[in-house]
Amino acid sequence: MNLKLSIVILAGMTTAAFAGTPAAVVDTTPEPQPIYRANSFDFEVGGLWEIGVNTPFHYQLIPTQLSWRTPRIFGFDLADGSTLSVRNKFTAIGTWVGQGPENHYFGFSASPSVEWWNKAQTFSIYAGAGGGCGAIDSQGVPGGQGQDFTLNWFAQLGVQKVLSDTLSLRVGAMFQHMSNGGATNPNPGIDALGFTVGCSWRF
C-alpha cells in the first residue's frame, strides 16, 4: 500500500467517525428574570377600622387598591443569596365608607416598596409608606370630613407568596390617615388600621 492510498483511507475513517458523533446541544433558554426586576400589577381589598380620637364616628373603611410596582430602582444582594430591593409604587384607591357619614373616597398615592426576597424568590416581606390625595363625599356633618378634597397617608407591612411564574398572593397590615391638611376647622380626619389581601401579576 503506497503512501497516497494510506492517507485517503485514514481520512475516510476519520470523517466517518466524526459523522456519527452528535453535535453538542446548546441551551438557548434565557435565564428567568428576578421577580423584583419585572413590572407588577397588584389588586388588593381590605378592611380598616377607626383607631383615632379626633372624630366621634367609628369609621369602617373598605379600600380597593390597584397598584403598579416598577422594576427595582436600587437594592442589595445579601450574603445568604436573598435580596433587598426598592421599587416605585403608584396606587389608585377606591374606598367604600361602610360606617360613617360619608359614602366613598377616590384618590391616588405613591410610595417606595421595600421588599426582601428569599434566595429562591418564592417568598417576600414588603413594607412601604407614602401618600397622595383624593376626594371624599363630605356631608357637612359635625365630626365628619370638612370638605371633599382630602389628603391621604398610609403605611403597610405584609408578605407575598409566589404561586406561579406570573401570580402571587399578598397579605398585609395597613394604617391609613385621611384629612384635609387643616383647610377647615375643625379638621377631624380619619385614622384607621386593618388588613389588606390580594393578588399580584408579574409582567
Pinpoint the alpha helices (H) of the chain. 3-19
In order along its 203 residues, the chain shows pLDDT tens digits of 555 555 555 555 555 554 554 555 555 555 667 888 899 999 999 999 999 888 999 999 999 999 999 999 999 999 999 999 999 999 999 999 999 999 999 999 999 999 999 999 999 999 999 999 999 999 989 889 989 999 999 999 999 999 999 999 999 999 999 998 888 877 789 999 999 999 999 99
Distance CA 132, CA 56 (A): 25
| Number of structural domains in the chain | 1
DSSP annotation of 35 reads: G
Q: Nine-digit cell at 32?
A: 428567568
Q: Which of 169, 173, 171 is nearest to 192 (CA)?
A: 173
Give the pLDDT of residue 7.
53
User: Do the beta carbons of residue 82 and residue 117 sit within 8 Å?
Assistant: yes
- Predicted TM-score (pTM) of the model is 0.80
pLDDT at 33: 75
- pLDDT at residue 32 in the model: 65
C-alpha cell at 44: 388588593
**What pLDDT is attached to residue 53?**
87
Planar angle of CA 7, 9, 13, nearest 5 degrees: 115
Q: What is the CATH number of the domain that holds 195?
A: 2.40.160.20
Q: How far is the C-alpha of 89 from the C-alpha of 112, rounded, in Å?
A: 6
State the amino acid at position 97 in one-letter form.
V
Residue type, 106: F
pLDDT of residue 16: 53
Q: List the domain range (segments joined by +) for residue 152.
A: 3-202
pLDDT for position 28: 57
